[in-house]
Amino acid sequence: MAILNREEYIEQIYFFRNMRERIAAGMATQDVLERIDQEILSTTKLPMAIQFLATEVKDSGLLSAGFGRLPHYFTPFQAFIVRSSENEHLKFSIDMGLNILEKLAIFMSGEHTPCGLFVFQFETLARNRLGYEEGVHAMAQDAMYSEDWRQFIRFVEKQIGLVEFAELVYLRSDFYVKTQQRSNAEYVPPVAPLFGEKEGKIARANIGRDPFFLFAALQRQLGYPEVPRTKPKDEQKEVLTNLQLKLRDMDTRIKLLEAEVRGNIDLEKFGKPDILAQFPPKFPEDDDD
C-alpha cells in the first residue's frame, strides 16, 4: 500500500480515539462501527473502510479480520496490533491496541520519518511482549520503508537477543561512519547509514543499558513518538481505602462496647444494616397476630 494522505490519518486519530472511549464506556464494537462512520469526513476513504469492518465483525466476530482484508488502507502492522489485542494468550487489551493505533496515526499525520516509525514499532513490540517474529515481519511490509530499511529490519529480527538494540542503531548511523573516518579517512561503510548523527550518539551512550532508556532518550532529545504505557493500579489508594473502612468499623464496635458497659446502649444510633433497611419497623400489635 502507498502512504495515505494527511487527512486520512487525521480521521484515523478521531476514529481510534472515539472507538476506544466508547468501548470503554460499554458499547459493543459492532454498535460503534455501525454509527461512527457517519462522523468521519466523507472525502476520505475511512468511512468505507469502517463499513467494511462492521460487516466483517458481524460475520466473523473479529475486528482483525477486517483489518487484514484491507491491506490497501490499513498497514500490516495495524492489523497485527488489532490481531494481538484479540489473542487470548497475550495480556494486551483492545484499549491499549487502539491507543497505540491512535498515537501511530498522530505520528503519521505530522512530520514522520522511517527512523521514528521503526523505533515506535519496535518499542511497541518490546514493551507489550507481542513477539518479534510476526511483529517484525509486519513492520517490514510498511510502505514507509525503502529496500535498505527492509533489509535492516530483517537483519534486526535475526539479531534480537544476540546484539543490543542500541548497537544496531549505532552501527547504522552517520555518527558511526564519522567515527570510523576519523581514524581511516578512506573508510566506506558496507551498507548505507539509516540513522542520523544525533541518533548514533544517543545509541552509543546507551550501549550496555536497558533498551527502554534509549527509547526514552530519543523521545526526549529528538521528539520521537512515545508508545502508550499500561497504567499501573494505584495500590496505595486501594490500601488506604481498605484501612479507612476497617477504622470506621473498629470505631463503631468501640462505641457499642462503651455503651454496653455504661448500660445505655441504643442501637438506633448506629443505624439499621443495609440488608434490613427494606423491612418496615415492628409494632407491638404485630405480636397479637
For the chain, 289 residues long, the average pLDDT of each consecutive 10-residue run is: 90 98 95 95 97 95 94 96 94 95 97 96 96 94 96 93 95 97 94 97 96 97 93 65 80 75 65 54 54
pLDDT of residue 245: 80
Q: How many domains does the chain have?
A: 2
pLDDT tens digits, residue range 252-273?
Answer: 778 777 777 777 666 565 555 5
Reduce the DSSP state of residue 127 to 3 states and report it.
helix
Provide the terminal-to-terminal Cα distance of the chain, rounded to the nearest Å: 84
Reduce the DSSP state of residue 120 to 3 states and report it.
helix
pLDDT of residue 258: 73
228 inside domain: no
pLDDT of residue 241: 74
Q: Is 42 exposed, middle or buried (0-12, 13-18, 19+ CB in 10 A)?
A: exposed
Nearest by Cα to 229 from 243, 242, 215 = 215
Nearest by Cα to 10 from 77, 109, 103 = 109
pLDDT of residue 274: 53
Q: Which residues are bridge partners to 160 per DSSP? A: 163
pLDDT of residue 180: 96
> Are 164 and 125 part of one and the same domain?
yes
1 inside domain: no
pLDDT of residue 220: 97
- What is this structure's pTM? 0.79
Nearest by Cα to 168 from 194, 142, 139 = 194
Reduce the DSSP state of residue 247 to 3 states and report it.
helix
pLDDT tens digits, residue range 131-189?
Answer: 899 999 999 999 999 999 999 999 999 998 899 999 999 999 999 999 999 999 999 99
> Are 175 and 247 part of one and the same domain?
no
| CB-based contact 213:123 (threshold 8 Å) | no
**What is the rounded distance in angstroms from the CA atom of residue 211 to the CA atom of residue 222?**
16
> Are 173 and 283 part of one and the same domain?
no
> Are 170 and 47 part of one and the same domain?
yes
> Are 168 and 284 part of one and the same domain?
no
| CB-based contact 252:129 (threshold 8 Å) | no
> Are 45 and 96 part of one and the same domain?
yes
Provide the domain limits for residue 169. 6-222
> Are 114 and 27 part of one and the same domain?
yes
274 inside domain: yes
